[in-house]
Amino acid sequence: MIKLAVYGKGGIGKSTISGNLSAAFAKKGLRVMQIGCDPKADSTALLHGGTRIPTVLQLEREKGKQIVLSDLVTESESGVICVEAGGPVPGVGCAGRGIINALETLKRLGAYETYQPDIVIYDVLGDVVCGGFSMPMRKGYADKVFVVTSGEKMARYAAGNICMAVQNFQGRGYATLGGLILNRRNVENEDAEAEALARDFDTRIIGAIDRSAEIQQADVMGVPFVNAFPDSQAAAQLSALADTVLQICGG
């Protein structure tokens, strides 16, 4: 089983990348589980026509100890197994703690053994890399971390913090850095800035996605752009990225 985590600054497009990777892997005949680890709980919306699914934390609040695995898991039309960790009630509780609780619940209920995915993708908010937000990096969860960035200053800053966190965990059996994914925003010197960031952490850009009308249109439609526009340049770039991710993860 391949286990990977996709991190990135909020709004950088990590959920769009994650959802499209899941769709691309599914088209290759692989069984995919995508676990959203962002309090906004919108990671898997693209796989459900733009609709958000109930979250682990929400269902635990409603059902308590009566909760069962089938309550937490929703399968998309394309066959992707979807879970959203969710977050606390706004203004109350810790989002990071919620991620820890959600992942521990999935493990306790035997989610991986029951659904037997070929690939698990954790889609994680990366503005803060501490506590629960670092949970998918820990032993037993993801084996590789991929960081989505653009050439924008704050995106590169957040990406640098994530890469630093991965490095700090080295030697503990935690996830290792698989590389950067460049989600282009057409800013000045974008590729050069991203390549400099990769060199700083002794890694590389494993794929780049150009900004395009097809990506934006598919987001409005609430579907992965690899499904909505399979012949587009964006779909070709994403498919190449999926192949590279599989190579890096040994798939």
Q: Among all residues, which ones are annotated catalytic?
A: 9, 14, 40, 127
Say how far apart CA 135 and CA 130 lie, in whole Å: 8
- Burial of 90 (C-beta count, 10 Å sphere; 0-12/13-18/19+): exposed
Write out the two tokens for 48.
């459900």
**Collapsed DSSP state (helix, strand, coil) of residue 85:** coil
Q: How many residues does the chain have?
A: 251
**Buried b / exposed e across 131-154, counting CB within 10 Å, b at 16+?**
ebbbbbbeeebbbbbbbbbbbbee
What stretch of H or E contains 22? helix 14-27
**What residues does 37 pair with on adjacent strands?**
124
3-state secondary structure of 249: helix
Q: Are 183 and 234 in contact (CB under 8 A)?
A: no
Report how far residue 188's alpha carbon sits from residue 103's, in angstroms, rounded to the nearest whole number. 39
